[in-house]
Amino acid sequence: MIRLPIAKRFIVSLALVALVVATARAEIIERVLVKVNDDIITQSDLEVRQTAALRARKLNPQTMSNAELTKALAEVTPQIIVNAVDELLLLQRGRELGYRLTDEKFNEILNNIKKENKITTEEQFQQALKAENLTLPELRSRLEKSMVIQQVEGNDVFGHISVTEAEAKAYYEAHKSEFTTPETMMLREILIPVPGTGQEFSAADDEAAKAKADALHAKLVAGEDFQKAVAEDSQAASKSNGGLIGPISLNDLAPALKEILAPLKAGAITPVIRTQAGYQIFKIDSLEEATLLPWDSAREEIENRVGTAKQAAELNRYFEKLRSQAVLEWKNPELKKLFDQRVAQEAEEAAMPPTPEKK
């Protein structure tokens, strides 16, 4: 069995720790949006999360129009409310299990934060907290929440997940195309432009360019040196490089050009091809065959893909269980609707097969 590193859905970075805390709440009567067992999520809680989500998208609510702000909030709020409920459920589970942030661990984390941010004095640290409208107890509370959530996820969910070699190999066999580097080629090109191509051009100009390209093609097929022809006749930007372009993957070519080039071998010369630029002739300078990434080289990525998919599915089942056991009292029907829709969408996503990671 291959043990997987714990994937953390809720990771508190220094940026999240430094989230601006809403002030002047003491005189405001909080509007409760939903009660999760004995805990509540308030309007202020939601607004703080919404602001953070918009900032993560590099959006500034103060400079956005009402329409832009409404659209952006509609996009981020469903996930925000699901995360808020699920975080409370995880924290409640952590309290049941007796998880807490000890003084020793808290001091260790503080030292790491100071080191990463090059804070060398207590005065600098206090200034940093003040700049982010945070007190030390608020910082500790946030860190403890993050630690408890990670412990619950690690022990109750991810700690039981592994990917067997048989599972990884089965994925490899079923997805070999995803681990295959496509065939690439180096080309040399000659361009005989048509005056006005892309706008208006005369039939006579087009015929003249085609006649010149056809005559040149006949010479090339008869054995004339391609690079010599490039130097004398090509008007392509690649002329200074002997007409050389590439390497080019066949998958990146337009379908019509791919159909022409795919069957050719190194050294072959294409027919005269009409393109947007004019009339072109290509020579296959060299070919690199498609290569399959060996199992040993692909293994780590496969384990990550399969493991991530299993973790997502298992975490979704875990939240379904916690939600089914919880008492959720919604005070806002619209938020409940958004919550239910996003939960259903997450279930569909968790059931999907593993996908390649985006580079």
Query: What pLDDT score does 290 carry?
Result: 86
Q: Which residue has the higher pLDDT, 34 or 250?
A: 34
Helix (H, G, I), strand (E, B) or coil at 351: coil
Q: Is the pLDDT of residue 84 over 60?
A: yes
> Which tokens belong to 310?
């299993």
The model's pLDDT over 330-345, given as tens digits with 9 standing for 90+, comes to 999 999 999 999 999 9
Percent of the chain scoring above 70 in pLDDT: 89
Q: What is the pLDDT of residue 48?
A: 92
Q: Domains of the chain: which residue ranges?
A: 10-169+296-350, 183-289
Query: 10-169+296-350: which CATH topology?
Result: Triger factor/SurA peptide-binding fold (1.10.4030)
Question: What pLDDT, on a 0 to 100 scale, did the predictor assign at position 355?
Answer: 67
Which of 107 and 30 is assigned the larger pLDDT? 107
Tokens in use for 55?
A: 């900032």
Q: What is the mean pLDDT of the chain?
A: 87
pLDDT at position 15 over 90: no
H helix intervals, 99-239: 103-116, 122-131, 136-152, 165-174, 203-221, 226-233
Helix, strand, coil percent content, the chain, rounded in steps of 5: 60, 15, 30
Residue 119 token pair: 């804070």
Q: What is the pLDDT of residue 195?
A: 83
In the block, tokens 């085609």 appear at 210
pLDDT of 179-212, one tens digit each?
A: 998 889 999 999 999 887 555 668 888 999 999 9
CATH top-level class for 183-289? alpha beta
pTM tops 0.75: no
Q: Which residue has the tokens 């269980």?
A: 321
Q: Check residue 354 and give its pLDDT.
A: 73
- In this predicted structure, the answer to whether residue 267 has a pLDDT above a threshold of 50 is yes
Note the pLDDT of residue 115: 93
Residue 16 pLDDT more than 50? no
Please state at what angle helix 333-350 crosses helix 295-325, rounded to 10 degrees. 150
Residue 324 scores a pLDDT above 50: yes
The pLDDT, as a whole number, for residue 351 is: 77
